Chain A
Amino acid sequence: DSGVTQTPKHLITATGQRVTLRCSPRSGDLSVYWYQQSLDQGLQFLIQYYNGEERAKGNILERFSAQQFPDLHSELNLSSLELGDSALYFCASTQQGLARETQYFGPGTRLLVL
């Protein structure tokens, strides 16, 4: 158990819909990262937040957005969902958001878009 929690574990929805994935980092960690794992694209970095502020952006689509709240939990919002958005979405956390730190991953949210 990494200490990072993600809800829900599974999500099934239809094309065109909007969903919100939630992540709680390890106790004391200020930085949160979101990743997408799909068969087509592999594991891709989406976005990083540090203490409520966006710090780095990866291959995140404009239909996707994220935020980190004062209690440090983070939410990833996916809208206008397409079949290709079906994937495993991971959240990871580190204490300071530094490159040398190990990123601890949550168990993931499996999204299926029908």
Chain B
Amino acid sequence: AQTVTQSQPEMSVQEAETVTLSCTYDTSESDYYLFWYKQPPSRQMILVIRQEAYKQQNATENRFSVNFQKAAKSFSLKISDSQLGDAAMYFCAYRRKGADGLTFGKGTHLIIQP
């Protein structure tokens, strides 16, 4: 079974600084998809960024980028120029190719210090 591990239960960063959230996963598949979701205090799950395993280029969405290391099965999220609105739980998620749901990590609580 696939597993997703987020080793940082909580991270804190100063506003305008850069922070990196870690995620590792375990799979025997070669084709899969990786996602970062944000869950603010409202509890809404919001997609931040996604990565296809077959793509070598790291995904980027404005201030959010990933470092995807397929061989190491690592998928970290970098948030640049942190803003107060970035404060939330961040979940790393995996989905194998085919009909299946998302497998989530336990989440990292990100605190932004003003």
A residues within 8 Å of B by Cβ?
2, 33, 35, 42-48, 50, 55-56, 58, 88, 90, 92, 97, 99-100, 102-105, 107-108, 110
| B97 closest partner in A (C-beta) | A99
B residues within 8 Å of A by Cβ?
32-33, 35, 37, 42-47, 50, 52, 91, 95-107
Contact of B99 among A2, A44, A55, A88 (CB under 8 A): A55
Whole-angstrom CA separation of A103 from B97 in the bound complex? 14
Known A42-B106, A99-B96; contact A105-B45, beta-carbon cutoff 8 A: yes
Contact of A48 among B52, B91, B100, B107 (CB under 8 A): B100
| A58 closest partner in B (C-beta) | B101
A–B complex contacts, Cβ < 8 Å, 12 sampled: A43-B107, A45-B103, A47-B101, A48-B101, A50-B99, A56-B99, A90-B45, A97-B99, A99-B32, A99-B97, A99-B100, A100-B33
Whole-angstrom CA separation of A102 from B32 in the bound complex? 13
| Contact call A108/B100, Cβ cutoff below 8 A | no
Most chain B beta-carbon contacts within 10 A, residue among A43, A45, A102: A43
Residues of B within 8 Å of A88, CB to CB, are 43
Known A55-B99, A107-B44; contact A99-B104, beta-carbon cutoff 8 A: no
| A35 closest partner in B (C-beta) | B101
Known A35-B101, A88-B43, A99-B100; contact A43-B50, beta-carbon cutoff 8 A: no
Contact of A107 among B43, B47, B52, B97 (CB under 8 A): B43
Looking at the assembled complex, report how far the CB atom of B100 sits from the nearest CB atom of chain A, in whole angstroms.
5
Looking at the assembled complex, report how far the CB atom of B68 sits from the nearest CB atom of chain A, in whole angstroms.
15
Known A42-B104, A43-B91, A99-B33; contact A105-B44, beta-carbon cutoff 8 A: yes
Looking at the assembled complex, report how far the CB atom of B97 sits from the nearest CB atom of chain A, in whole angstroms.
5
Residues of A within 8 Å of B47, CB to CB, are 102-104
Contact of A108 among B43, B104, B106 (CB under 8 A): B43
Residues of A within 8 Å of B45, CB to CB, are 90, 92, 105
| B32 closest partner in A (C-beta) | A99
| Contact call A45/B99, Cβ cutoff below 8 A | no
Residues of A within 8 Å of B98, CB to CB, are 99
